[in-house]
Amino acid sequence: MLKKLKKKKRLVAAATLSTMLLGSAGAYASQNGAFGSNLVGVQADGSVQTPVNQLITPAGKQIEFGGNPMTVAVHPNGKTAVTIVGRNNYGGTGINVIDLASGVMKAQDISLGLSSMWGLAYSKDGNQLYATGTSGSTGKVVVLSVGQDGTPKVQKSINLPAASVGGKINPLDITVAPDGKLLVALNRDNSLGVIDPVTGALTKVAVENAPTSVLVDGNFAYVTNQGGRKAQPGDITVDSSGTPVVTDKTGATTTGTVSVVDLSTNTVVKNITVGVQPERMTQSGQYIFVTNTNNDTVSVIDSKTNDVVQTIDIKPYPNAPKGSAPNAVKMVDGKLMVSLGRDNAIAVYDWQSPDKTPELQGLLPTAWFPVDIAVDSVNKNLVVANADGIGSRGPTRNLNIQGITVNGHSSYAQKGSLSLIPFPTAEALAKGTDQVYKNNNWYGLKDLNAKPRENKKPVAMPERIGEPSTIKHVFYIIKENRTYDQVFGDLGKGNGEPALTQFPEKVTPNFHKLATTFPLLDNTYVGGIQSASGHQWVMQGTNNDYEDKETDAANVRSYPGGAGDAMAYAPTGHLWDQALKHGKTVENFGEDTTAFTGTLPQGSWTDWYNDYLILSGQKQGDLHVPIGNYEAKTDIPSLEPITHKPFPTFDMGIPDQYRFEIFKQQFEQHVKNKDLPALTTMWITNDHTNGLASGFPTPQAMVADNDLAVGKIVDLISHSPYWKDSVIIVTEDDAQNGLDHVDGHRQPAFVISPWVKRGITNSHYWTVINMVRSIEQILGIPPMNQNDAAAEPMSELFTDKPDFTPYEFVPNQIPLDTLNGTPEANTAVLANTTNVTPEAQELSKKWTQWSNKNKDKLTGKHAVPDEINANMQNHAVWYATEGFDKPYPGEKKALAPEEVEKQPESFAPSETDND
C-alpha cells in the first residue's frame, strides 16, 4: 500500500509539472510584459527585480549579507554552516557563520586577510576549517580553528608559489584527503596541490587545463578541469590566462575533463572526457556526478571503471536552448539536486540508475545566481549559496547637497545570500516550478518565439522573428561606465536625481538632445558590474558561469573586458556569430578587440587629436601615424575577419573624434559601394576618462568628446541614404563609475531611428538583453540562448509611421583639448571648487599625482578597462567634476588618495595582473 501511495504521489507531481510545461504560453506574457515598469531592486511584494530580465523570489529562509558567496560548507556536527565571499571589496570581507536551526547569522565578515576568496572545507572532526584565496599576488590556504559555537578563528596562512605560467596561482576548491592532507585545485598552475596542513609542504600533481573542483573517493581524487584537455596539433586554441585552451571559431572552449589522481603515488591515472567547462561534483554510491556549466549537462562517472556511463541533459523546460549553467549538485533521498546558476533555480531529478533517463520533478526558486549547495541533514534543508543574491542593494551612499539628502547606489555594493530550502515535496515542486517560470518569463516563450508567418507586410519591429522589417541595418554602439543619474539627473524629465549629475547638458549636449528627440529610456539597465562581465552580457545576451564567478572573486585569473579569455565566452556564441550563421553581413569597429599596435611610436593624446584635426580638414599636415600602420587585434577567431583594423580599441590616449573619422571614412565607402553590412558593432570608449592625469583632457572634456562622437555618428548616418532603413542602439558595457538613486546598473541608453516614437519618455523595464533580442527580431536571426529567447523585443518604442528628419549634432560646449594641469597645479579642476583653499590645492596636487602614476594603465599597448582601481578613479573623477571641497557621496569630507586607499573597495585591484 505504501509503495502504491508513493508511486501515486510521483505520478501526481509529474502530471502537475507536465501540465505546467505544456499549458498556455500566453497566460503570463500578456500582463504588460513580464516585468512591466518594475525598477530594479526590492518590489512591494518582497521580490527583487534584477538588471538581467529576471525576478527573484527565493524559496525557504533567506540570510543576506554583503559580498558574493562562492562556497558553503556545513560543519560535521550539523549545527552551523559557513560561507565565504569572493572578494573583500564588494560589500563583505570574509567568512560568515550561520546557525542552521534558527537561520540566524552567528558571526559575520571574519577577515582572512585575503583580497580574493573561493574554497572552504572542514577537517573530518570539524576542529579545523580551511579556506583558499589570494592576497596581493600570493595564493594562500588559510587554516582556522573552530570554536565550540562554530565560529572559526585564523591560526595561520600557508603561502603558495607563483603559477608555472607566472603570476597568481589562483587556488580554488579545497577538500581534505583521508590522511588529512589538503587537496587544492591550483587553477592557473594546471595542477592539484597536495598540502600538509601542519608543515605547509606542497606537492603538485599536473592535471589538465584550469582545475576548479576536487572530490575524494578513497585513495583517489577527482579533479574537474574547466579549461578541458591539453591542446593537440591541429586544434583551434585561444589563450586563457597563459594556457592555450581548445576552442571553436567563436573562441569558446569545447572540451572538459576530469583527472583521476592516485593519492598513494600522486599520479594521474586517467583523464576522463566529460562536458564543457566542468565544475562542482558530488558522489552517491559508486557514481560521481559532474556539472558541466557550458553545455548544460551532468556527466555520471562510474568510479569502479572511471568511465562516463550517463550524460544528463539539463533542460528546465522542453527543448530549452543552452544557458542554464548547472554548476553544483547534491543527492538527497534519491533526488539529484542541480543548481542552475543562470536560471536562479534548483532542478530536482528523480535519479535511479545510469541505465534510466532521470525525470525532472520540478524546480525550486533561489536568489540570483546560485553557485553551491550543501545539505543540512539535521533540519532537512538545502543550504544554497547565491553569489549575486539580491544584486547591488548593499548600503547606499548618502550625499547632502544644499540641505537635500540623496541616496545613491553603486554597482559594487553587492548583497549575496544563503537560502535554507526545505527538502522538496511534490507540492513545493509544483509551486516552485510555477514561480521559476514566472521569474524567467518562460510562460511567454511560445508567443515570443513563434514561427514566422508568410506574406506579412514589413513593419519596423516584426511580431515574430523571421517576418520582414522595414529596418535593414542595425548599428550597435557600446559606450563606457556612466549611470543614468550621472548624465541625465539634470534632464528635467524622466526619473533623474539632479544632485547626482556629474556630466550635465553643458558637457553632454548631444546625449541630452538625443534623449529628448528620440525615446527617453529612464528604466534601462546593464547586466555587468564591470567590463569583464559587461561585454559578455552586451554581446552574448548572457554571462557564463566562469566569468560571473571571476567577477565575483576579483578576476584573479583574467580580465576579458573586451575579449581576452576563451573561458569567458558562452557556448552559444556572440551576436555577430549568430548573425553570420544566418547569412547576415557584419562589420566590427573596436568591440572585443584587445590591442591596437603598429610599427611607429604611439605618441601622445595630442598627437592623435592633431590627426583627427587633419582627417576632419581642420588642420593641414601629415598624420603622425598613417592610417593602417596601427591595427586592432582580437583573440576571437570569428571576429578577426570582420573587424575594421584601423579603428582603435580601448585606449584613453586616443580621442573618440579620431574613432569617428575612421568610422566615417569606412561608412562613406559603404555608401559609395552600396554595401553597408546588416549589423555594425562599435566600441566608443572615452567617457571612461583618464582621471586627472597630466597631458590628458579633463574628465568633462573626455565625456564631451564621447558625446560629440556619438552625436556625429548619428548625424552622419541620418544624412545618408541608409537612414531610411536603419536603427542605432546605444548601450554601455557597465555603469560602474558612478552612483544612481535607483540602482548602480541603470544606464543612459538610446534607440535612434526614423522608425521610433519621438519625444516620448518610456519607463518600461529594459536591459541589454532586450536590446540583443530587438536586434535579432529586426534582422530575423533566432535567439542564441535561454536569456534572449525569454526577452521581449523593445516593440513599444517603434512606429510604422516614420519620421525621416535627420539629426543635427550639437557642437561641444567644452573645448575637447582642455588638458589636466601639471603635477604642481590643476587650475582646470580647481575651477569647480567654490573656495580654493590651500587644502583644496593640496588635494588637487595629490589626485593629479595619483592619476599620473596610473595613467599608463589606460593608454597604449597595455591599456585595459578597469585596471585602475575603480573606487580610486571614481573619487578622482568626482572631485574633478564637483570640486575639491565636495565630499564623495557617503563621506564627510574630501579625501586624499592615501585616505581612499584604506577603504575596503580599494584593497583589491579591479583587474588581474598576471604578467
Q: Are residues 738 and 642 in the same domain?
A: yes
Residue 654's CB: how many other CB atoms inside 10 A?
28
3-state secondary structure of 717: helix
Q: Are residues 561 and 614 in the same domain?
A: yes
| CA nearest to 742, candidates 33, 46, 51 | 51
In DSSP terms, 346 is beta-bridged to 339, 364
Q: How far is CA 697 from CA 100, 757, 830, in A?
A: 55, 36, 14
Q: Are residues 846 and 884 in the same domain?
A: yes
Q: Which pLDDT score, from 0 to 100, does residue 462 have?
A: 98
Does residue 683 belong to any structural domain of this protein?
Answer: yes
Q: Are residues 838 and 753 in the same domain?
A: no
Q: CB–CB of 785/553 below 8 Å?
A: no
Alpha helices in 329-444 (DSSP H): 426-440
Encode pLDDT of 338-393 as tens digits: 999 999 999 999 999 999 999 999 999 999 999 999 999 999 999 999 999 988 77
Q: Are residues 589 and 661 in the same domain?
A: yes
Q: Are residues 849 and 792 in the same domain?
A: no
Q: Which pLDDT score, from 0 to 100, does residue 866 have?
A: 63
Does residue 804 belong to any structural domain of this protein?
Answer: no
Does residue 26 belong to any structural domain of this protein?
Answer: no
- Greatest distance between any 2 Cα atoms in the chain: 95
Q: CA 148 from chain center: how many Å?
A: 39
Q: CB–CB of 757/557 below 8 Å?
A: no
Question: Could you tell me the three cell numbers for 538?
Answer: 552586451
| CA nearest to 697, candidates 649, 647, 648, 655 | 655
Rounded to whole angstroms, the Cα distance separating 80 from 70 reads 17
Half-sphere exposure of 330 (CA within 13 A, CB side): 18
Question: Could you tell me the three cell numbers for 5?
Answer: 501511495
Q: CB–CB of 86/118 below 8 Å?
A: yes
Q: Which pLDDT score, from 0 to 100, does residue 745 have?
A: 92
Rounded to whole angstroms, the Cα distance separating 293 from 279 reads 7
Does residue 498 belong to any structural domain of this protein?
Answer: yes
Q: Which pLDDT score, from 0 to 100, does residue 825 have?
A: 54
Rounded to whole angstroms, the Cα distance separating 562 from 732 reads 12
Q: Are residues 846 and 756 in the same domain?
A: no
In DSSP terms, 62 is beta-bridged to 419
Q: CB–CB of 536/562 below 8 Å?
A: no
| CA nearest to 384, candidates 399, 397, 368 | 368
Q: Which pLDDT score, from 0 to 100, does residue 182 have?
A: 98
Indicate the residue among 778, 797, 816 that finishes a domain: 797
Domain hosting residue 873, numbered range: 827-906
Does residue 197 belong to any structural domain of this protein?
Answer: no
Angle, CA of 674, 680 and 683, to the nearest 5°: 140
Terminal-residue alpha carbon distance, the chain: 67
Q: What order of strands is seen across the sheet that includes strand 287-292?
A: 278-284, 287-292, 297-302, 307-313
Indicate the residue among 747, 781, 797 that finishes a domain: 797
Does residue 14 belong to any structural domain of this protein?
Answer: no
Q: Which amino acid is at 486?
A: Q
Q: Which pLDDT score, from 0 to 100, does residue 408 have?
A: 62
CB contact burial 235-258 (16+ within 10 A = b; e otherwise): ebebbbbbbbbbbbbbbbbbbbbb
Number of domains in the chain: 2
Rounded to whole angstroms, the Cα distance separating 591 from 477 reads 9
Q: Which pLDDT score, from 0 to 100, does residue 22 have?
A: 39
Residue 654: which CATH number? 3.40.720.10
Q: CB–CB of 751/839 below 8 Å?
A: no
| CA nearest to 130, candidates 144, 140, 117, 151 | 144
Q: Are residues 833 and 763 in the same domain?
A: no
Question: In which residue are the cell numbers 565575483 written?
Answer: 552
Does residue 299 belong to any structural domain of this protein?
Answer: no
Angle, CA of 536, 257 and 173, to the nearest 5°: 70
| CA nearest to 711, candidates 523, 562, 517, 522 | 517
Q: How far is CA 894 from CA 204, 833, 840, 869, 884, in A?
A: 49, 11, 9, 18, 6
Encode pLDDT of 770-798 as tens digits: 999 999 999 999 999 999 999 999 999 99
Q: Are residues 785 and 848 in the same domain?
A: no
Does residue 317 belong to any structural domain of this protein?
Answer: no
H/E segment holding residue 561? none
Query: What is the block-wise mean pLDDT of the chain (915 residues), using blocks of 10 residues?
Result: 41 44 34 81 94 97 95 98 93 95 97 96 98 96 97 98 96 98 98 97 98 98 98 96 97 98 98 98 98 98 98 97 98 97 98 96 98 98 96 64 52 88 97 97 94 97 98 97 94 94 95 98 94 93 96 90 92 97 98 95 96 98 97 96 97 96 98 98 93 88 96 98 98 88 94 98 98 98 98 97 98 92 64 82 88 78 70 85 85 91 65 58
Q: Are residues 771 and 845 in the same domain?
A: no
Q: Are residues 882 and 781 in the same domain?
A: no
| CA nearest to 314, candidates 344, 338, 330 | 338
Rounded to whole angstroms, the Cα distance separating 739 from 486 reads 7
SS3 of the chain: helix, strand, coil, percent, to 5: 25, 30, 45
Q: Which pLDDT score, from 0 to 100, does residue 691 have?
A: 84
Encode pLDDT of 23-79 as tens digits: 333 332 333 568 999 999 999 999 999 999 999 999 999 999 999 999 999 999 999
Q: Which pLDDT score, from 0 to 100, does residue 336 have?
A: 98
Q: What is the pTM of this model?
A: 0.92
**φ, ψ (nearest 5 deg) of residue 722:** -85, -10
Indicate the residue among 797, 817, 840 that finishes a domain: 797
Q: Are residues 636 and 555 in the same domain?
A: yes
